[in-house]
Each structure stands twice: as C-alpha cells, then as structure tokens.
Amino acid sequence: MSSLVIKSIGSALNATSIISSKYAAKKAINLFASPRKGRYNDEQKRIIDSAFYEEIKYNNMNIATYRWVGKGKTVLLAHGWESNTSRWAYILKDLKSQGYNIVALDAPAHGRSDGKQFNAILYSEFINIVANKFQPDVLIGHSVGGMSSVFYMHKYQLPSLNKMVLLGAPAHFTGVFERYKSMMGFNKKISKGLDNIIIERFGQPVSYFSVANFTTSIEAKGLVIHDKNDRIIPYEDGQLIANRYKNSEFITTTGYGHGLKDPSLTPKIIEFINN
C-alpha cells in the first residue's frame, strides 16, 4: 500500500475510535495480522515442486511442510512475513550439497498453510509441531520467522536442536508494534486499545515478547546476522539480540538489506552448522 492509502486508513480508524475505540482497535489489529501476500505464485511453486510435501495438523489447521531428504543433519527453515518456503531458493542448492535433511514450513496464513491471520505466537506453535515430528539439529529463521523460532525454543527447549541462525530478526515485539502504530498514524486511543488486545489474547503485555530477553534461556549455539542497511528491522535489533544471546556470534553485513540473500553468507552459515 502507498503511504497515502496507509495514512487514509489510519485517519479513518482514528475517526472511528471517537465513537468506539474498542472497535477501532480490533480493526487495527486485524489489519496488522492480515498478510497481503505470501501465497504461492506459479514461479514460486516451481521452486518447491522438487520437495516431498506433507500437511501436519495443529488444532484444526493444516501446516504445510516441505522436505528435501538427506542423510546429514536435519535443518528446519522458517520464513518471514508475507513470504513462504520459496524464499529459501537462494540457499537450497548449497544446503543439499552438504547432504542435510532439509525441512521447511509455511507460516500461518502463508504459502499453503491454513489461516487468514498471522501472529508470531501461533507461528511458534506451528514450528513446535513440525520440530517434534522431524527433530531438527538446526533451526534457521528469517525476520519474524527468527522471532517465532526464539519464542518456540524459549518455551519448548527441544533437546535435539543445538544450533540457531537468526537472519534479520526483530529484538522485541514492542519495536515491531510501535513501528506499525507510527506508520498508520494511530491516535492514543487505538494505541492503548492495541496494547490491551495483546494482553487479552496472550496473557502478557507487549513488552514481554522479547527475542533478546528470551535468548538468555536458550542453550543452543546461535548465529545472528543483520545488515546495517536493513530498512525493515533496525540494525540495533541485531546488536541487542547478539548482546543478550550468551552463546552466539554476530555477523554484520552492509548492503544486503533485510532479505540477506547474498551468496557470500551461505558458506558462513554452512561453516557454523558443521562446526
């Protein structure tokens, strides 16, 4: 959406909040949680055609999983917002060449997975179901996929998982939420209403959901990669995660943006997995 459209929506909801701040906040959270893209187009479908496809149940939802079978370490891939498993095309060939057993999943409301709305807590539960089935040694998450991976490990501490790679991950949900509020130009009524909805739905305030804080409980070795020119998740988020993650190393890049798909990073990720 253009900035003009975004501001127009924000202004309309601000006006609505004068009549009912609760209704306006619910509309705002639904907008925040509804991806505008992430389902497969024809080109993306060709990328996953070579995988073994399987759906796994979580409650009444199907989780789409993809496997490229190998005899080596099992590596689980978790993509980010408005994306899907095809985003890993740039690294799949190199992972296959190592003989890894590669597993990937589509997030809620993304790819072929069920759902109309997304949140990182639900995604972490998807990851838990898939991880329990395939027992990965390594978990690689991009952006909110990295956030959800940390939420998952903080809660479940899978014994088999001994390595985590976080690519452009947000350090805390507070930052993500505040950037959304600022982008939309929401007033104080909606802002407070959004915070209240998080407490009602998840039993904790926005500030509780901190990747940086949660990593302090994770024993698995971490590799944190973040670009100085990331326009989606600030570079400072990567620094904060690396500072709190006691058993991690930090790689700074310049010019690779939020996607971090540059081929020069792949050997570093493989070296981290193998050592």
Which residue range forms the structural domain that includes residue 157?
40-171+210-274
- Shared domain for 3 and 94, answered yes or no, is no
Whether residues 189 and 266 share a domain: the answer is no
Alpha carbon distances (Å) from 262 to 102, 106, 152, 176, 268: 20, 22, 27, 25, 11
Distance set, CA 89 to CA 34, 167, 262 (Å) = 25, 15, 12
| Runs of H (alpha helix) within 87-187 | 89-97, 120-134, 144-156, 173-184
Q: Looking at the structure, do residues 116 and 179 belong to the same domain, yes or no?
A: no
Closest residue by Cα to residue 130 from 165, 79, 174, 169: 79
In this structure, the answer to whether residues 196 and 215 fall within a common structural domain is no
Cα dist from 63 to 15, 48, 107, 113, 140, whole Å: 38, 15, 8, 5, 18
Pick the closest to residue 256 from 237, 233, 272 (CA basis): 233
Same-domain check for residues 17 and 55 = no
Q: What is the pLDDT of residue 3?
A: 73
Q: Which segments of the chain have a pLDDT < 70?
A: 1-2
Number of separate domains in the chain: 2
Same domain, 7 and 127: no
The pTM for the full model equals 0.96
pLDDT, residue 4, reads 78
**Strands, E assignment, the chain:** 52-58, 61-68, 74-78, 101-105, 138-142, 163-167, 221-227, 248-253
Q: Which amino acid is at 211?
A: V
Same domain, 125 and 255: yes
Using CA atoms of 236, 108, 84, 37 in order, give the dihedral in degrees to the nearest 10.
Answer: -90
Domain identity same for 144 and 111: yes
State which amino acid sits at residue 132. N
Based on the domain organization, do 13 and 145 belong to the same domain? no
3-state secondary structure of 79: coil
Regarding whether 163 and 195 lie in a shared domain, the answer is no
In the structure encoding, which two tokens stand for residue 160, read together?
């088999």
